[in-house]
A and B are shown apart, each in its own frame.
Chain A
Amino acid sequence: GAVVSQHPSRVICKSGTSVKIECRSLDFQATTMFWYRQFPKQSLMLMATSNEGSKATYEQGVEKDKFLINHASLTLSTLTVTSAHPEDSSFYICSAPSSGQGAWITEAFFGQGTRLTVV
C-alpha cells in the first residue's frame, strides 16, 4: 500500500538552531500534505496544510515564520522549525490523503513521526 516516509525519526538540537523534517510519498504523488503536532498524551493538532506549488495554509495560532513549510515537488514536503526553543519540543507527524490531493475523504497515510527535543 501507499507509504509516507518521514525523516528523521528523532532529532536533538540546540536552542536557536533550525531543524528540517522531511515527508515523502513513496509510491504515489501527494499534492497535499498535512502537518500535525502532538504533545505527550494528547491528540494531534493540525498545524498547516501544504500544497505543491503554492503557499501553505496555516491554522490559527501557528507561527508561519517559525514553522516553515515547503512543498516543492509532488513527493516531498518539508517542515523547518526555525530558531528552535525548548517549548518547540514535540512529536511532529505528516499525513497525505490517500487520493494524493485535497480532501481527506477516504483515509490518509501518516508518516512515522519525528520526536524533536530542543535542549
Chain B
Amino acid sequence: AQSVTQLDSHVSVSEGTPVLLRCNYSSSYSPSLFWYVQHPNKGLQLLLKYTSAATLVKGINGFEAEFKKSETSFHLTKPSAHMSDAAEYFCVVSDPSGGSYIPTFGRGTSLIVHP
C-alpha cells in the first residue's frame, strides 16, 4: 500500500527567505508524486509532478522538488518566499497498488509567510 507523510503541519517563513516543505512517501512500486497548492476555499492547483523522468522537477511560481529514492522523499523548495505563496500544500503519491492509481494525499502543510 502507498502512503505519504508530510512532516510539518505548519511552516512559517519570512518573505524573501527560502521555503522547505517536507514529504516522505512509501510505495512498493515506482510511484508518481505530485505537489498541489490550495488557497482558501479554492480547488487544488498542480505545482509540479514527478513521473519517473528527471529527479529534479521544476514547477510553477519558482517551486521545485527533488525525488530521492534512497530517502523516499520528495521535498518542495523555493529560494525566496512571496506573500502570495501563503496557502495549503499537499503532497500526493500515486501508484498501481490495489490495481488502480487511486492517489493518496498527505495531510497538508500550511505555509505562513510573514512580511
Contacts and interface: CB of A to CB of B under 8 A. Distances in A.
Interface of A: 4, 6, 9-10, 41-44, 46, 49, 91, 93, 95, 102-108, 110-113, 115
Contacts of B90: 43-44
Interface of B: 32, 34, 36, 41-46, 49, 51, 90, 94, 96, 100-103, 105-108, 110
Contact of B101 (A9, A43, A104, A115): A104
B43 A111 contact: yes
Given A103-B100, A106-B49, A106-B51, A43 B106 contact: yes
B101 A105 contact: yes
Contact of B107 (A42, A46, A93, A110): A42
A107 B101 contact: no
